[in-house]
Structure 1
Amino acid sequence: MFSALRNRKVQIAGQTVVITALVGGTAAFVGLNKQVDLTVDGETQQVRTFSDSVSDVLESNDVDVAQDDQVQPGADAGITRGMNIIVNTSKDIDLTLDGVTSEESTIGNTVAEALAELGVDPEGAEVSTDLDATLADGENSEFSVVTPKTITVVADGDRTPVDVTAATAQDVLDEADIELGDQDTVSTPLSAPVSDGGVIEVLRTSTDEKTETETIEKKVTEKNDSSLPRGEKKVETEGKDGKREIVYAVTTVNGEEVKRTKKSEEVVAQAKDEVVLIGTKEPEPAPAPEDNGGDDSGDSGDSGDSGDSGGSGQEDNGDRSPMSKSEIQAMLGGPGSRWYNIVKCESEFNPRAVNQQNNAHFGLFQFKIASWQGVGGSGNPADAHPREQFKRAKMLQQQYGWGQWACA
């Protein structure tokens, strides 16, 4: 009996050891098994793990982490009960911003998060995809954003700031209700992207026909005529200018001509040639002077240069003493003398007279400098002695006649 009791005690003791072991193991199991939240690209699940680090949890749940992915806390962080492990994977997107497309990467999980990460403010912008659209698994990887902007449109003489949400120059013109003609051009390509503060100028271009009348100058032919005094001209056949009409294609930009091309021309009035006779007849020798006329010469102001070859008066005897007005009048032959009348008309007997209208005729006979030099004079005729002036005047008259003076 004792032996049976002893065996029963041994059995109970063994069971107690087993129960103790089971209770201790369960406690250890429960202590090592932790519950954590695992959020991958915005989707959260609760997992239990015996792992000691974040990287072990990710590996045991088949979450592959690339270099550009974001893990919070870090992959080497220890595991605590109830912690939240967040993984945001890097995603490739094609973003078209105001007409310019670029390839970008983001750890954002929605379109809004991606724009925020890239520094694009969607406020007031036109976005081709809903801002809450997910980017997981390559979804919605292509989208466009057109931001609001102010563009200055210059057209038809007006400079107008336009608030638009437009990506290209064509979009701006459409929103501003600017229509382009067939030949109109724009300062920037219509497909070019635009930016805030930009300027778009519309160049109104047109090509119109324009008819202009041009003068066809008459041809003038000169012929020598021995019956006319030397130097005299006479129109034998009167000519007339002609006319032609020319049609041009004229291109204007904003009203200013930039190009013209001749399309046709037509003579509407023929030009008529003119024939002019030029006298070559030598002048008749002038009669010898009737008196002792002076030695100086002159040149008419308004009617030409000339002197009197015949007139009266004293010859130039070399006397250079000053002469009074009465002495000059006596030298010219006195009243009634042709020389007297010429000098009275031309200079009022003033040997130093200068034509006040043109400052080009000088002395008693109002010589031109060229005529004075042509008969051997030097310097200014008004500086020469009256006798010298009379002498040169008579030489001029002998060569070219009385027609050199209107007063003759």
Structure 2
Amino acid sequence: MLPNNARRTVMLPAVSAVLATAMLATACGGDGAGPKGTAPAADAPKSAPAPRQVVLVVDGKKTETTTTGTTVQQVLEQAKIALGPYDLVKPAADQPAGEVVTIVRLLSAPKLKVIKTPAKTIRKKSSSVPPWSEKVLREGTDGIKIVKWAYVRRKGKKVPKVLAQKIKRKPVARILAVGPKSAGTGSAANLNWAGLAKCESGGNPKSVNPAGYYGLYQFSMATWTSVGGTGKPSDASAGEQTYRAQLLYNKVDGRWQGQWPNCGKYLFS
């Protein structure tokens, strides 16, 4: 039997050997979570998209196609639809395909055109403006519209088609104050103006004499302007022409002979 000191000397090397073996196993054998040499599991393969229905609208004509494509380009390729160099596709070819894909066949590249939108004229009655006269309260401004267009084929013909339009500037209406439409002026209103007009112009408010006389009562431009008329007398309404003829009669104190030397007598018939 060995002394106690001898037994301790023999046992220490044995314990050290066991600890060293355990440390080597930990360093070389991984984390011990599984059997040595087991490879990690591979990702499961992704399944292909399920077939679905997509509506194709080509130049307004609708068809349906069954597709597994995810982008517009893939859907069109599976449907065997080729795009021309100028064709418009919505959504774009590289975008995800929704339930509807729209195609507009174009024969030319889209172009832009600037179009003016005429301003409207608004007339407001005003007692502060002389009868049959107008006063500008606000000048109008034409609008501007940008139109995108291209040529397309319709019924075998090449025709322009508006693709889109944008309002760049809205029109601003012109506002006019309009005086009352007076039926007559003073005692002159009781005269036979229809008889005078029949003799002077055949009763035609649009009548024009090459010598420079206009309308029902054959005004000269100078005489028409002198009684407040604007533009040509033949462009004014029959009512305004009669009103201004009566103003003229009053202005010359009834001396109609200088104005209507041949037909003035019919005023009293």
The TM-score with structure 1 as length reference comes to 0.26
The TM-score with structure 2 as length reference comes to 0.37
User: Which has the higher relative contact order, 1 or 2, with Cα contacts under 8 A spaced 6 or more apart?
Assistant: 2
Computing the radius of gyration from Cα coordinates, the structure with the larger value is: 1
Whichever structure has more helix as a proportion of its residues is 2
